[in-house]
Amino acid sequence: MPSSDVILAVLAPIFFTQTASVITTAIVVVGLIMFLMRPRRFYFVRHGETIMNASHLKQGAEGGLSESGKRQAAIVGGGRAPGGGAPGI
């Protein structure tokens, strides 16, 4: 997403010159609104089952994924990231 300074630098000549037409300004504004309001998808995913979760024990930082948890993580991740984690994280 471009910063607001970049957007302002691009749009300033259109909005702040005396030769800008109303139609051009309206088209730019509508295009910008449509771009900013486009649908987005967010996925919230919990971790897979851990060894201590399977034993119904409270877990802190220790403990790894059980075999079932590793299968769950592989299913949710779909093999998208080479290290097994989420891409970009």
Q: Are residues 20 and 55 in the same domain?
A: no
pLDDT at 23: 76
Tell me the whole-structure pTM to 2 decimals: 0.40
DSSP notation for 42-72: --------BHHHHTT----S---B-HHHHHH
Quick: pLDDT tens for 51-79. Answer: 787 777 777 667 788 888 888 888 887 75
Q: Are residues 51 and 73 in the same domain?
A: yes
Q: Are residues 32 and 45 in the same domain?
A: no
- Mean per-residue pLDDT, 9-14: 71
pLDDT at 20: 60
- Domain hosting 10: range is 4-36
Q: Are residues 26 and 45 in the same domain?
A: no
Q: Are residues 75 and 89 in the same domain?
A: yes
- Mean per-residue pLDDT, 41-53: 78
Average pLDDT score, the chain: 74
Number of H helices, E strands in the chain: 4, 0
Number of domains in the chain: 2
Does position 83 have pLDDT exceeding 60, yes or no? no
